[in-house]
Structure 1
Amino acid sequence: MMAKLVSRHVAGHAEEFLDAFRVVIVNGPRQSGKTTLLQQLNHGRGGTYLTLDDGSLRSAAQADPVAFVAEDSRPMMIDEIQRGGDNLVLAVKAEVDRKTDRGQFVLAGSTRFLSTPSLSESLAGRAGVLEVWPFAQEELEGRGDSFLVTAFNDPEALRSPSFSDHGRRDYFELICRGFYPEAVAMRSELTRDSWYRAYVQSVIDTDIREMARIEEPSNLRQLLGIAAASTAQEPNLVKVGSDLQLHRTTVTRYLGLLETVFLIRQVPAWSRNLVARAVRRPKLHVTDTGLATHLIGVDADGLAARISPARGPLVESFIVNEIAKQATWAPFRIGLHHWRISQGAEVDLVLERNNGRVVGVEAKATDSVNQDDFKGLVALRDSLGEDFVHGFVFYTGARSLSFGDRLTALPISALWDR
């Protein structure tokens, strides 16, 4: 399936934001589809599209940012904005302060460039922020009803008696293929592996080098490999530092850099006590399972083997990533967390709306489920009472199954196929 045929669900929010804000910021990893989205917006709005990957444009933006943003028709779409530097963003701020029309600029970046305190403050009250990730399977399937919205608004609708068309092997193939548009369009494992290798090199050698002084980039590559091997786990920074011969503070900084370029996400621990939420360790997930399988050297056959240590964590990261993508176009804001208490109860993903309502999600890389698989969700349900909307265990089996009060087992494909 070619990238140009896939409708991006976040486009609706982008159009809405253009009508509501003077500036729209589009963040996301390289090669995730930001450029295509900007060009589509530009085509519909009759604006100007510029990319700072173009050396001449980048030099002009850096030399005279005020003149650069004053030219051309609106909205001005500036791609790879982080390559223009702080002064370009400040010039945008001055321009939108001078003229308060909505939809003047769309700024797209492959790093969380605009999340730095000084720049965030500069555009506070002027900008709306969107994230564009690699494809969600829901987008590739052409579906329009997100699991995430249904889970909060009508969870009983997910207890369908129908059978999934996806089998265990299908999920492993999706996990290993990944979701970057270029990788999706490739037919062979060999070409995808070559693409992922070049992609990692480009992100580390270009994006990270431009925003941070890294004495030894190989340490970052090694850390990314460790992250892939320990996806869906709480990283032990002391051990990681020992393995890489780096100080713990350096490991923390490097993880922050990998998150800034969208290669990993850290899902914070959840608690109704906000202080406790802040001090517990986050779970780390590589943001694309195709990239993760490339880094650890495993394919679908390896995941299907009788013993496969990577299978469970990769299935969990696959589910977390799909839900995180759906959250970017949901009609309400949703926080993603994980939950673990000292007595042993844990839930892979706790989804919380601003109104305090919670949905719990567990991931299982098995074809069958039993009551024990719901222990963490039962503990969460009992502790929250009416604020607990529903708990779901996703597994590689074929049908949805009720496990009692607000507890349901679902095929993984229910994330996109209902």
Structure 2
Amino acid sequence: MAEPLAGIATRRVSALLDDLLSTEPVIALHGPRSVGKSTVLRALAEARGVPVLDLDDVGTRDAVEANPQTAVATPGLLCVDEYQHAPLILDALKARLNREGTLAGTAVLTGSTRQDALRRTAQALTGRLHTMTIWPLSQGEIGGVIEDFLPALRAEPDAAVAARPTSTTSRKDYVERLCAGGFPLALRRRGTARDRWFDDYIRQSLERDAVELVRIRQRTMLRELLGRLAGRTAQVLNLTKVSEGLTGERKTIEEYVRLLEDLFLLDRLPAWGKTLRARAAASPKVHVVDTGVAARLMRVSAAKLATLEPTSLSEFGHLLESFVVGELRKQVSWLDEQVTTGHWRTHDGDEVDYVIEFDDGRVLAFEVKANERVSGADLKGLRVLRDALGDRLIAGVALSTGLRSFTYEDRIHIMPIDRLWTQISEPSQTNKNH
């Protein structure tokens, strides 16, 4: 694995943010703590020649809460970091928009919790707010590559498969990548220093950020719940099993799972395609947002995951699926159009790990395989989905740790996982499109 972040990684969201400011009055950039939101915001502010109101700073926060109207009256673009610390600023911003009109490029806000957890945001800025999510660094961002996997696969699947027929990425490299995760500060560390960073990140998320959102009655249970869900990453969410032995009520446990989602520690991937078959399952899957965090919570090291011991194989398989789903999730967030995503699973045992449905109803489907060799039996779920969708299926792809990229049969392909961050089109063409 190449040395990550030799410089400052260029975030794909930065270009999207700059484009959206020409049409949107207020943009809220949400994402996990320490993911790089402040870096993106400060780069934008510097380019526009405006200051940043950092509400993580207690002094600044107190000043803003005492003088919210003055705080939002700054000329030019208003940039507010961690706005959830002083929600009064939203009412002041609303009043400014009411006075001056809803002008494009009025403000950019960042927050470390999901917008759904901050009802005041939606209430104050209804119809004027566009939200974006900044996820941990993608493998392409780490390596300085502009990923074009999804657009290329959608446009010309056969050409995308044939463009890079072989890979040199080893199983060991995949293990190292998923254990490193995508947080910039974790990527800059190694060994025990990185482990300490993950431990501090988890502790601060649960003891500081969670308490700011809700009144936590059972902090120990919240930590235990997160650990259990990490051990079940990439599996169907079953709260009955997860809560076995915990002292909290079912309602409290459900609230805590939602809280972990609001803090961007977990992501719930909904069931998709329930209308395709009567026996399609409706339960979501749960994925830890960052596999570096997940591996640390599970107390599994890269050395352990690299072995072929049965328990390690199972853990690697689940972590690898969450890793791939995370990379696809990031690339989906950069698409020009809104899409529907989910997993597909039937009560008959057929399943597909990640499905992307575009506005025109056409579909890309992905199955993640931790082995180097993919057999015909491994493609059963993709085949069943292809038959159910008919012409709506653009391509079904089994992403594996193998080295070859090829078409197996009609619209079903096998590709190495690293195709996700290997640029498919010519660099000059891709740069023109971005």
User: Same fold judged by TM-score > 0.5?
Assistant: yes
Could you report, residue by residue, the CA deviation over 1:48-81 in whole angstroms, capped at 9, with x for unpaired residues? Answer: 21111110111122233223222x2321110011
Identify the residue that residue 119 of structure 1 maps to in structure 2.
Answer: 121
Distance 2:64 2:194 in 1: 34
User: For 2:322, which of 317, 322, 327 is the aligned residue?
Assistant: 317
Identify the residue that residue 366 of structure 1 maps to in structure 2.
Answer: 371
The answer to whether residue 39 in structure 2 is matched with residue 32 in structure 1 is no
User: For 1:247, which of 249, 253, 278 is the aligned residue?
Assistant: 249
The aligned amino acid for 1:328 is: S
The aligned amino acid for 1:401 is: F
The aligned amino acid for 1:170 is: D
User: For 1:2, which of 5, 11, 21 is the aligned residue?
Assistant: 5
Change in 2 beyond 3 A, CA 1:42/1:102:
same
Identify the residue that residue 204 of structure 2 maps to in structure 1.
Answer: 202
Distance 1:134 1:316 in 2: 16
Distance 1:293 1:387 in 2: 37
Identify the residue that residue 297 of structure 1 maps to in structure 2.
Answer: 299
RMSD between superposed Cα atoms in Å: 1.9
Identify the residue that residue 89 of structure 1 maps to in structure 2.
Answer: 90
Distance 2:318 2:24 in 1: 39
Change in 2 beyond 3 A, CA 1:377/1:290:
same
**Runs of at least 5 residues in structure 2 that lack an aligned partner in the other structure:** 425-434
Distance 1:248 1:235 in 2: 14
Whether the 8 Å CA contact 1:138–1:146 is kept in 2: the answer is no
- 1:383 deviates by 0.5
- 1:224 deviates by 0.9
The aligned amino acid for 1:88 is: I
Could you report, residue by residue, the CA deviation over 1:121-142 in whole angstroms, capped at 9, with x for unpaired residues? Answer: 4322212111111100011122
Distance 1:49 1:267 in 2: 34
The answer to whether residue 167 in structure 2 is matched with residue 164 in structure 1 is yes
- 1:117 deviates by 4.4
Whether the 8 Å CA contact 2:369–2:398 is kept in 1: the answer is yes
Distance 2:94 2:50 in 1: 19
Structure 1 counterpart SS, 2:243: helix
Whether the 8 Å CA contact 1:268–1:277 is kept in 2: the answer is no
Could you report, residue by residue, the CA deviation over 1:98-144 in whole angstroms, capped at 9, with x for unpaired residues? Answer: 22321111110000146544531432221211111110001112222
The answer to whether residue 71 in structure 2 is matched with residue 68 in structure 1 is yes
Could you report, residue by residue, the CA deviation over 1:246-275 in whole angstroms, capped at 9, with x for unpaired residues? Answer: 222111111110100101100000125399
The aligned amino acid for 1:241 is: S
User: For 2:286, which of 278, 281, 284 is the aligned residue?
Assistant: 284
User: For 1:13, which of 13, 16, 32 is the aligned residue?
Assistant: 16
Change in 2 beyond 3 A, CA 1:47/1:276:
farther
Distance 1:33 1:321 in 2: 17
Structure 1 counterpart SS, 2:97: helix
The aligned amino acid for 2:92 is: A
Identify the residue that residue 338 of structure 2 maps to in structure 1.
Answer: 333
Whether the 8 Å CA contact 1:169–1:304 is kept in 2: the answer is yes
Whether the 8 Å CA contact 1:336–1:352 is kept in 2: the answer is yes
Identify the residue that residue 150 of structure 1 maps to in structure 2.
Answer: 152
Identify the residue that residue 49 of structure 1 maps to in structure 2.
Answer: 52
The aligned amino acid for 1:219 is: M
The aligned amino acid for 1:304 is: A
Change in 2 beyond 3 A, CA 1:268/1:3:
farther
Whether the 8 Å CA contact 1:52–1:83 is kept in 2: the answer is yes
Whether the 8 Å CA contact 1:3–1:181 is kept in 2: the answer is no
Whether the 8 Å CA contact 2:27–2:132 is kept in 1: the answer is yes
The aligned amino acid for 2:78 is: M
Whether the 8 Å CA contact 2:5–2:142 is kept in 1: the answer is no
Identity percentage of aligned residues: 38
**Runs of at least 5 residues in structure 1 that lack an aligned partner in the other structure:** none
**TM-score (norm: length of structure 1):** 0.95
Distance 1:149 1:363 in 2: 19
Identify the residue that residue 184 of structure 1 maps to in structure 2.
Answer: 187
Distance 1:357 1:92 in 2: 40
